[in-house]
Structure 1
Amino acid sequence: MRDPYEVLGVSKTASEADIKKAFRSLAKKHHPDKHAGDADAQKKFQEISGAYDILGDKDKRAKFDAGEIDASGNPRGFDPRAHGFQQGHPFGGGAGGAREFKFTWDNAGGESASFEDIFSDLLGGARRGRGAARAQRGEDFSANVTVSFDEAVSGGIRRIVLQNGEQLDVKIPVGVKNDQVVRVKGRGGAGRAGGPNGDILLTVHVAPHPFMTRDGNDIRMDLPVTLKEAVLGGKVPVPTPSGTLSLTVPAGSNTGTVLRLKGKGVPGRGNEAAGDFYVRLVVSLPDRPDEALKAFAESWKTSYDPRAKLR
């Protein structure tokens, strides 16, 4: 087998990071799964793997540099055929039966990683040896977004910034509730060894509305009306998340009278029916003194006791 430094194209003073980088590049280029039926590619890949088995291991590299082992990892003067190994094959095997070895190296963080792990990173699950790396689902990411009351009711599109700085337009579903978690499929961490990507778990915070509240799929609000509108009745405008609607106020209405706009609450989704919009009337007198209203009240002869029910 050729000198492992020559095989990986690195100098004898190369750092661990440089050696690993060279191996990853060559392994990705010459992996048999990318060259099906190519015997030369298979041989090249075996040579690359064998070289990294030596140089990717601190102890083996030191022994090779000291001349204690050869390029195949065998002690100097060792005959691999006498011990059941195939000549020049870093994974063993031969007439005496296949032998399996797990090669590892220390990565930059001091953790041990195997060939299987690095091939999983490189090729998304490329098969090695007699088996295949296990597919792993990518990590889920968490994110938060605040939307207006109207957006929560009617839905919309919001742009969020991911942990890696990427901007993503996310669809806010119709009728989303405060603190509801929306799953954005496939936009989380990358899967390994052919596994699916993770998701983004987006927590939606709904900003409070100045005069509307939500009760399930129903929406409620207090609507100020003039004394004239309450006494004589008539049509009044009502602001809703879907636009301004017209509401008929019955004559003789009072503060506390509740009127309903059917189906004008939160839109229905799936098997859920649309909610209703409930309006509670609040009779509102003028902010400034009204002499005509004052004179009318003073001349009004009808007597009634609004607190009779409290007795």
Structure 2
Amino acid sequence: MTDPYSLLGVSRSADEKAIKSAYRKLAKELHPDRNQDNPKAAEKFAEVTRAYDLLSDKDKRAQFDRGEIDADGNPTHPFGFGNGGGQGYSTYSRGGGPGAEFEFGAGGADFGDIFEGLFGGGGRRSGGPFGGFGGRSAPPQRGANMSYRLSVPFVDAATLAPQRITLADGKTIDLKLPAGVESGTQMKLSGKGQPGPAGAGDAIVTIEVAPHPFFEKEGDNVRLDLPISLNEAVNGARVKVPTVDGPVMLAVPAGARSGQTLRLKGKGFTHKQGGRGDQLVTLLIDLPAHDPALKAFAEDWSDSRPLRAHLGV
């Protein structure tokens, strides 16, 4: 992947606000819904989303800036060389769509078989650090757990759409997302880790909810800024609004104000206890620039209310 800073068009010293602003601008331009006849736009949208996913995560950004991981989030020394002898995890990009990756846990290798071969059988080993002689053999160990990260599209997370992930052995599994899913949610797949004498370890899948170009998550609610025209605000109107479940019609009341928030019940994320949050729609009156008719109207009309009296001016 191209350098994430270059993809978003920001400097390496850009703060979180600048990075988010750059992503939102690009995402709106490149979103597949606006470019249905341009597959390259969809590819570019996926690239800038992965770039934002990396740079919006403080830990990942710091690792990238230090050269510990590349632009795809993979370690520059996947087997630990040059990094203190392989402490921590080694991450490998693998299947499951963009953002799906897995890690092998440090210390997961079972050295019992190695030392057993050196000392000629388990019956002669003691309890010393490498077995020794005359003691009992160590009990068989389960295989190491394997950790995966799965990037889930915002709308899929809100609607609990099934997700497919490809494991290290090449097998694919369809995951049913749990109620209350959010970034950091972990799912355990029993027996899907590395094999071992006492059985396979587990696969631990950590969910990351991908950002969306115009929806934002707030608890179990979804927030959306909705532009409306002046006449829709003054006279009231029924307007089409996007939701995670698809477009719906929203009644804008006559005399609506910019900044006013309307609620669409049950259009948010699923609660852990069941039921769903709401979608909170904030109205933003969008005035056209240099419109002669609007300018002529404003010249013949004035608002005599003391709008700023509560501010002491």
Q: Calculate the TM-score normalised by the size of structure 1.
A: 0.53
Give matches, 1:140-289, under 5 Å.
140-164=145-169, 166-174=170-178, 175-193=180-198, 195=199, 197-269=200-272, 271-286=273-288, 288-289=289-290
**Cα deviation digits, residues 228-283 of structure 1 (max 9, x gap):** 111111211110111111111111111111111111111344x2331111111111
Would you say the 8 A contact 1:159–1:167 is kept in 2? no
Alignment partner, residue 6 of structure 1: none
SS of the residue corresponding to residue 296 of structure 1 reads helix
SS at 2:217 equivalent: strand
**SS of equivalent to 2:242:** strand
Give the stretch that moved more between structures: 301-310 or 211-220: 301-310
Residue 84 of structure 1 aligns with which residue? none
Q: CA deviation at 1:227?
A: 0.6
Contact 2:165 2:175 in 1 (8 A): no
Does structure 2 retain, via aligned residues, the 8 Å contact 1:157–1:169? no
Question: Which structure is larger by alpha-carbon Rg, 1 or 2?
Answer: 1
Distance 1:263 1:159, change over 3 A: closer
C-alpha distance in 1 between matches for 2:161 and 2:207: 12
Alignment of 1:35-54 (within 5 A): none
Equivalent positions of 1:27-176 (< 5 A) are: 107=114, 111-112=118-119, 114=121, 134=139, 136-164=141-169, 166-174=170-178, 175-176=180-181
Root-mean-square deviation (Å): 3.0
**Contact 1:106 1:112 (C-alpha < 8 Å) held by counterparts:** no
Residue identity matched to 2:307:
P
- Listed as ranges, the gaps of 5+ residues in structure 1 are 1-104, 117-130
Tell me what 1:91 maps to. Answer: none
Q: Contact 1:155/1:171 (CA < 8 Å) preserved in 2?
A: no
Aligned to 1:76: none
The answer to whether the 8 A contact 2:143-2:195 is kept is yes
Distance 1:106 1:250, change over 3 A: closer
Q: Is the 8 A contact 2:269 2:276 kept in 1?
A: yes
Q: Secondary structure at the match of 2:295?
A: helix
Residue-pair matches, total: 188
- Alpha-carbon distance in structure 1 between the residues aligned to 2:268 and 2:303: 40
Matched to 1:168, the amino acid is: T
Name the aligned partner's letter for residue 304 of structure 2: S
SS at match of 1:183: strand
Partner SS for 1:273? coil
Listed as ranges, the gaps of 5+ residues in structure 2 are 1-111, 124-135
Q: TM-score, normalised by structure 2?
A: 0.53
Name 1:8's counterpart in structure 2. none
Q: What letter corresponds to residue 298 of structure 1 in structure 2?
A: E
Q: CA deviation at 1:113?
A: 6.7
Check whether the contact 1:224–1:282 (CA below 8 A) recurs between aligned residues.
yes
Larger CA deviation: 168-177 vs 141-150: 168-177
Task: Give per-residue Cα distances to partners, 1:12-31, cap 9 Å, x unaligned.
Answer: xxxxxxxxxxxxxxxxxxxx
Distance change in 2, residues 1:225/1:109 (3 Å): farther
The one-letter code sitting in structure 2 at the alignment partner of 1:169 is I
